[in-house]
Structure 1
Amino acid sequence: MVSSPHEAMHRIFQEYPGLFSRVSEVLGVDIPPPVSATVLPTDLTENSPVERRVDTLLRIETQEEGAFVLAIEAQGKKDPRKAASWPYYVSYLHSRYGGLPVLLLVVCQDRQTAEWAARPLTIGLRRWQTLTLNPLVAGPHNMPVIKDVAEARKDLALATLAAITHADNPDVGAILKTLSAALRDAPENITDPIVELTAQGLGSRPAAQQWRNLVAVDTSFYKSAMSEEIRDEGRAEGRAEGLLLLLGVRGIALTDADREKITTCTDPRLLHAWLQRAATAVSAEEVFRAS
């Protein structure tokens, strides 16, 4: 099953293809900025029972060096099978796209996986290697820790990827706070995908709740699906508190189970229906009927 962080670590390049030239600069490789970028089909399956898919595939056009194919893999853990898959991807893409240069970028969220992914993959004999694959690897070991708002504003896409790769950094709270502050002056069409990608990239880590809290501080600033979800949660909490207060004023007895049912309900429409019934009901059973 594909995880949310897995999706975010490669999908961000689909949203911001120019990000690769900045990432390559961070990694110490001089790749010219793109003039244009095209998302390519990720299915690398041939007429055989083996299905092979790369996570994200882009055709990058540059002014200085022409076009190349960029394959991006999000890697959550060490996987010995990649020793066979990655060289296949590169060779197949080189052939499929008419001999265009092919680069492989692997994005990781932990140092051990990043160090493993960065090892050259070789095919051949010890005395003579027929093929050597050198992936570019972006991870917590080499991505910048951005805690300066001005620096984050200069390149929001890079700041987002850096925050995702540093999801387990003890100082991730400061990193996320910086990113959130940097987004305040950005247009809506920029903030919305970044809010969502960051949430997706943090997955189920504790940092994900920190990000939700930052977005929730001023939900009017954000228009994304995640901020709408936070607004709905706030409305539900307010209705639950109002319902409990109304039932208390009207002297309607509630069991612990009834209280839990109210406080854990996240459906605003259902809570609204309970509120309406509570105005005239004489028992908790009447409030919850047909619910």
Structure 2
Amino acid sequence: MVTARHEALHRLFQAEPSLLPRTLQILDIPFPDECEVTVINADLTEIVPVERRCDTLLDVRCPDGPYTMIIESQLEEDAAKGDAWAYYVSYLKAKYGHQVVLIVICQKPGTARWAREPKTIGLPGRPTSVLYPVVLGPDNVPAITDRSEAAKDVVLAAFSAITHGTSRRVNVILDALAAALDTIDSDHAGFLAEFTEVGLGDTKARRLWRELMSTKTYRYQSEFAQQLRAEGLAEGEAKSVLKVLEQRGVQVPDAVRERVMACTDTDLLDELLVRSLKVSSAEELFG
């Protein structure tokens, strides 16, 4: 099931494409900073009506040549994913002719270990194809707990916080991120604060983040946090939906704005928050 937490794990790479080389460098994978990253359509559906869609798809132009990068969020183990990932890689290699890299992002160490296992197709002991995903998880993404370190790369600090959403040290990570957000442009900081809220999902860390946002005062204080503190959860989440659309540059007609703000169903608002990360028009929220 697609959730806001799942979407945020990979969509941070859509919102902040410059994050890509820095996360690969975490794994000591040599990758140049001076590359151009473009988000491309992730729909892999063929003429035959079988819909296949990866999470995020990036076109990356580097000095050593072009790459097609698949970013997948994986919250739990899924035996069927090996076949799906193999399809994505082979299809995209044939379609674009570029080298294809599969990056899988996990929040749980066990899921990350499973994702790293080779996914084979063919005879036992003599596979036709072996897939080795590049996996980013809490066991290899640094836990950024120092405020000054977080301030040096705030986007990476936000990614660290989301990836370590189930870590026992998440409270320290969130504290460092909250302070670091106060060092950058308020609009950008507010957007990353919202993104962190979504990415933490239904976890203790999300509740900690909400508490931090509603009890502390920061220059960038997110509209969601202000609304949460002043007027309650439902209206705060409605504001968060609209804020994400605005940060993505999606125009919100008055009729849609009024409908979102009138919603008091927090489950529906969670669904709208997921959709707000990917719709191309505000009208699609309720489509």
**TM-score normalised by structure 2 residue count:** 0.77
Could you tell me whether the CA contact under 8 Å between 2:187 and 2:220 is conserved in 1?
no
**Cα drift, residue 232 of structure 1:** 3.4
Could you tell me whether the CA contact under 8 Å between 1:37 and 1:58 is conserved in 2?
yes
Matches within 5 A, 1:2-81: 2-63=2-63, 65-81=64-80
1-structure distance, mates of 2:74, 2:199: 12
Whichever residue aligns with residue 195 of structure 1, its letter is A
Secondary structure of residue in 1 paired with 2:135 = strand
1-structure distance, mates of 2:188, 2:102: 27
Correspondence for 2:186 among 188, 211, 222:
188
Match in the other structure for 1:85: 84
Does 2:85 match 1:113? no
- RMSD of the alignment, in Å? 2.1
2-structure distance, mates of 1:221, 1:58: 33
Secondary structure of residue in 2 paired with 1:144 = coil
Secondary structure of residue in 2 paired with 1:68 = strand
Runs of 4 or more off by more than 6 Å in structure 1? none
2-structure distance, mates of 1:71, 1:129: 23
Correspondence for 2:144 among 136, 139, 146:
146
Match in the other structure for 1:277: none
**Cα drift, residue 220 of structure 1:** 5.7
**TM-score normalised by structure 1 residue count:** 0.76
Match in the other structure for 2:268: none
Matches within 5 A, 1:203-282: 203-219=201-217, 221-222=219-220, 224-233=222-231
Match in the other structure for 1:279: none
**Cα drift, residue 84 of structure 1:** 0.7
2-structure distance, mates of 1:196, 1:116: 30
Secondary structure of residue in 2 paired with 1:39 = strand
Whichever residue aligns with residue 41 of structure 1, its letter is N
Match in the other structure for 2:177: 179
Whichever residue aligns with residue 157 of structure 2, its letter is A
Whichever residue aligns with residue 91 of structure 1, its letter is S
Larger radius of gyration: 1
**Cα drift, residue 34 of structure 1:** 4.4
Could you tell me whether the CA contact under 8 Å between 1:43 and 1:52 is conserved in 2?
yes
**Cα drift, residue 189 of structure 1:** 3.2
Secondary structure of residue in 1 paired with 2:162 = helix
In the comparison of the two structures, how many residue pairs are matched?
236
**Cα drift, residue 132 of structure 1:** 1.4
**Cα drift, residue 18 of structure 1:** 1.4
Could you tell me whether the CA contact under 8 Å between 2:181 and 2:220 is conserved in 1?
no
1-structure distance, mates of 2:74, 2:178: 26
Q: Deviations over 1:231-267 (max 9, x none)?
A: 4327x9xxxxxxxxxxxxxxxxxxxxxxxxxxxxxx9
2-structure distance, mates of 1:29, 1:154: 21
Secondary structure of residue in 2 paired with 1:59 = strand
The percent of aligned pairs where both chains have the same amino acid is 43
**Cα drift, residue 38 of structure 1:** 1.0
Whichever residue aligns with residue 115 of structure 2, its letter is A
203-212 or 7-16: bigger deviation:
203-212
Q: Deviations over 1:124-154 (max 9, x none)?
A: 2234322111100011111101111111111
2-structure distance, mates of 1:8, 1:151: 23
150-159 or 84-93: bigger deviation:
150-159
